[in-house]
Structure 1
Amino acid sequence: MWIKICGIKRLEDAVAAYRFGADAIGFIFADSPRRVTPERAREISRCMPYGLSRVGVFVDSTPDEVRETAEYCGLDLVQLHGNEDEEYCESLGDGVIKALRVNEETDVLQAWGFGNRPLLLDGYCSGGNGAQKRYTCLLALLKPGREVIVAGGLDPGNVAKAVSTLRPWGVDVASGVELSPGVKDHALMYSFIERARKAEYEVNES
């Protein structure tokens, strides 16, 4: 299972994520308390070993801006959280994750408009029962043959349940392992990754 620690702003947090067994770190280039400059992301990226994926998070940037930032920072993947359509995603080539915000009004068919590329479903812990049912339904429809990443409100206390019940391809966390926006709590990071891996093992053994 793919585990991403998002909202990285400090080198020590990126190093800890790698040491604890994360598969990817995320740099946010959109408006956010966790926003990082391309210069800082490049500096951190250059210090990290091969095998750890660097992911850039963008919201409605132009394709040229995404490409230039990805090249400058040495990104392996880009994650799109805005109104980008499939044509936009196609223009960037491979290595694109499209994020969809899931709530009670989310059109289940919307996800089918993005080919077979990886999808991040945001909003796992938000909304009421209707939103939760829509989230579970959408994930179940997409999972066969599709890389689906669960995100939104995950933390060490609920990641095992998310993995065991939803059985996603990946999980993504930011605020759930923080002391404050952009400052990671290393104990929480370790616990999150450990519990996710344990749940994955138990699912595979069942």
Structure 2
Amino acid sequence: MRTRVKICGITNIEDAKAAISLGVDALGFIFAESPRKIEPDKARKIILNLPPIIGIVGVFVDEKEEIVKEIASHCGLNTLQFHGSETPEYCNLFPHKIIKAFRIKDEMSLKEIPHYQRWADAFLLDTYKKGIRGGTGRTFDWKLAIKSKKFGPIILSGGLRPDNVKDAILEVRPYGVDVGSGVESLPGKKDYRLLEEFITQVKEADYAAG
């Protein structure tokens, strides 16, 4: 199975088009506090200039329902990623595809995932770091990701880079991988060379996995 690729933290049209030209499946726009945060109007301008059949993911952290719905409609988001302590009931309030993110520290971090099986379409696993939700640049124990696959499609995140994504895919065999800081020259600005190498390594992993 081909590994899907999501590039997160898009802040400009140049990075978006570069990622799409390399064959990524989805782009992530962060509407929560982050060095890669983007304002809805700017995101909308970028999204309106993108080709069809690209996943447009909005990333939120414990945001009010009405604000999420307003931004989703304004920007034309087709998928919502919740990276906070949103409940299963909260996730069920939206008609969009839902990615629920979990910060993984140890095996206890997996215990909440089953509660979201009815409401989330995929689970994004990121590295736990106190006080930080996403963008840690650190990996976690991938054996925990393997254990979580029984709950549904897994998107592996946390410290992925061109030099480790192939190993990650071959070990975990996730539905998808998510990268932000691992392909940046500075926060919010993607490095085309790193992007290209990341995609190449994903394809090599898929080929090696058969």
Task: State whether TM-score is above 0.5.
Answer: yes
CA RMSD of aligned residues (A): 1.7
The list of structure 1 runs, each at least 4 consecutive aligned residues, that deviate by more than 6 angstroms after superposition, is none
Q: Counterpart of 1:7?
A: 9
2:40 maps to 1:38: yes
2:56 maps to 1:49: no
Task: Point out the structure with the larger helix share.
Answer: 1
Question: Number of residue pairs matched?
Answer: 198
* Rounded Cα–Cα distance in structure 2 between residues aligned with 1:200 and 1:12: 27
Q: Counterpart of 1:136?
A: 143
**3-state SS of the aligned residue for 2:178?**
strand
Q: 1:184 aligns with which of 169, 186, 190?
A: 190
Q: Counterpart of 2:21?
A: 19
Q: 1:119 aligns with which of 114, 119, 123?
A: 123
2:181 maps to 1:154: no
Q: Name structure 2 gaps, 5 residues minimum.
A: 129-136
Q: Counterpart of 2:100?
A: 98
**3-state SS of the aligned residue for 1:75?**
coil
**3-state SS of the aligned residue for 1:107?**
helix
* Rounded Cα–Cα distance in structure 2 between residues aligned with 1:136 and 1:88: 29
Q: TM-score, normalised by structure 2?
A: 0.89
Q: Name structure 1 gaps, 5 residues minimum.
A: none
Residue deviations 1:110-150 (CA, integer Å, cap 9, x gap)? 110101521000019747xxx52xx523x233324721000
Structure 2 residue identity aligned to 1:155: R
* Rounded Cα–Cα distance in structure 2 between residues aligned with 1:78 and 1:115: 15
Contact 2:162 2:182 in 1 (8 A): yes
Identity over the aligned pairs, expressed in percent? 41
Q: TM-score, normalised by structure 1?
A: 0.91
Q: Counterpart of 1:87?
A: 89
Contact 2:104 2:110 in 1 (8 A): no
- Report how far residue 94 of structure 1 moved: 3.7
* Rounded Cα–Cα distance in structure 1 between residues aligned with 2:109 and 2:32: 25
